[in-house]
Structure 1
Amino acid sequence: MLLPGAEKYLNKNSHDLWKEQLANDRLILGEIDAAIAYFNSPEGADGIVEYTIDTGQDRQTVKRTDISNLMSWRSKLIAEIAQLERSLGMNGCAARRIVPGF
């Protein structure tokens, strides 16, 4: 028995799921960078305290006081993106699994 909505993943392999996750992470990272840049821009410094991050799936409003959380989220996303790129063999590297043959 599948969870509701899981049928869209039935015919996908791990590689395709990782590529989709990588694309989603890059999209979210771009939105987080935009929010951080906005809060540090002259317009954001004029008292505007909220910014809406739109990931395409949902919207989240963040406040200027959330900058430390945004920076933490950004660091985690960068690490996950790097791991996914390594796993997918991008940038000339790939994760390998070596199994002894004995």
Structure 2
Amino acid sequence: MVHVPAGWVPTANELHRNITALVGPYEVVQAGPKGRGLRWLTTVDDHPGVPELRAEAHRITAGLCAVCGGPRADDQRDPPRCSRHRFGVVPHVHARPPRRR
């Protein structure tokens, strides 16, 4: 199951486009927050260039609020939050890919 925090969806979409352009169709095995950034495990992780794309997406998302995608606050929340979403729980703030028709 793929659960990407809503604030990270644009980065996840870009990562997906970049991997698809590099290797063609692939499958996401697991995705979600891990280590204050986006974890994106795929069936093509050993393909040249893919680890670098994944690392860049992790670095970008580590600086973004997982709720809204704004700049993260200076605290060490995992996943990161901005000052507006700093406290409390925001339930069900996950985006899921659309279903195929």
TM over 0.5: no
Determine which structure has greater relative contact order: mean sequence separation of CA pairs < 8 Å that are 6+ residues apart, divided by chain length: 2
Q: When the two structures are superposed, what TM-score results if normalisation uses the length of structure 2?
A: 0.32
The structure whose residues are more often helix, as a share, is 1
The structure whose residues are more often strand, as a share, is 2
Q: When the two structures are superposed, what TM-score results if normalisation uses the length of structure 1?
A: 0.31
